[in-house]
Structure 1
Amino acid sequence: MPETVKTDLSLARKVCKELRDGNTDAILEIYHKYHSFFINFARSRLRDNPDRAEDVIQNFWKELLNGNAICEYDGRNNAGLRSFFTKILRWRVSDNERKHERTDDAEEYVNGTTSVHRTLSQEERILLTERKKFVHDALLILEKSSQKGDAELIRMRLFEKLDYQQIARRKLTSDPSDPKSIEKKAAALRKQFTRERTGSLAKFRIIAERLMEKYSWNMDDLTETGILPE
């Protein structure tokens, strides 16, 4: 376990104990450490509704004050305390969006403008938007740092779900229908993709793990959203 996570775990346990003992001021250490980040996070996702962002944050701190979330933190998957709390906050933002969406739906119904095409929940839309931004950032970094076509291979293999033969056909310019050429190219692509430490997937994984801090995600988020294979 990284030292930063050990430090976060120690802080969480200390604050948990004090909150359980009735010392509500114990939350202030976490408040002063993370409040600026949390309020900016909420505002960035509710940028058209600053008052709602303030409400979400106020309710979020009330939730942390009861101690349950803080006491549940165990540093699992080497997730830091900020990442752990941000995951909770992300869902509270979704809850707020969903609540107001229901209000909008009611108004649409009254006005006769209900959309029959809405299929994704607000929670799913937020997650999809964040996933797209994450993938775009990671592929852009990979494209700039590698000259071997790794980003293109990752895009086709992980996100277009193409197999190596299909990718080989796209890349072959001489005779994309020749079976021997396809097999040879597919074998080379497979080696490039799976090579330990220096392969396309290994490079992409390193970049994705570095971006986790920016997005306040952990490894579970990367696999659950399909960004990285399990």
Structure 2
Amino acid sequence: MRKRTLLIVEDEARLRMVITDYFSQANWYVVEAENGRDAIERLAENEIDLVITDILMPVMDGWDLCRTIRRESNIPIIVLTSKAEDEDKLRGYEMGSDDYIGKPFSPKVLVAKANSLLDRIDGVFSASKTAITGTRLAINSLAHEVEVNGKIVSLGPKEFDILLYFIKNRGIVLSRESILNQIWGYNFDGDIRVVDTQIKRLRAKIGDEADLIQTVPRYGYKFAVKL
């Protein structure tokens, strides 16, 4: 089995070395970059499974890196920064990051977060047809088909992508901006209300499971499974 490959983007060489050592000991292959521009080059040269990036870096910072990656890829991203305020966390999620850890941190915890994130993603998308725990939904990611209570429903491409994005981020409140950027891209110049329109259609099509997609007033939406 191929080792999981990490791209660590951090301008502080000593911290980069520590993170590399811990992930290497955990049987990961590690690729290093010291800023966002270098990271883009490494992504083009390697098959990367996870990006861990600092925010405050020269040349290209972590925000711009997240933005650039999300235009082309759904590679999982963990944001690593000394900034731990809620607004920075929300901005990280809006930029398309999957998790957030503030400095100082335990390298062991970082490795555990990385493994947990990829295990969860692999569990959802590895099989051609996967039942989503806590729901009556099943998704065939290869055929782009969704079943509700055993019956196939026809979703449009954007509706399907939104549903996958919700499942990947189950339990996390997603702003309309983050959904728009993830599904339509940062260069989309249409109205943000397109998000509400697509989610209304998605809810209608998944019928009895529509209440899985909860509206969070004045912010966005959350996919809440029935445990």
Larger radius of gyration: 1
Q: TM-score, normalised by structure 2?
A: 0.24
Return the structure number with greater relative CO, CA threshold 8 A, min gap 6: 1
Higher strand share: 2
Q: TM-score, normalised by structure 1?
A: 0.24
Higher helix share: 1
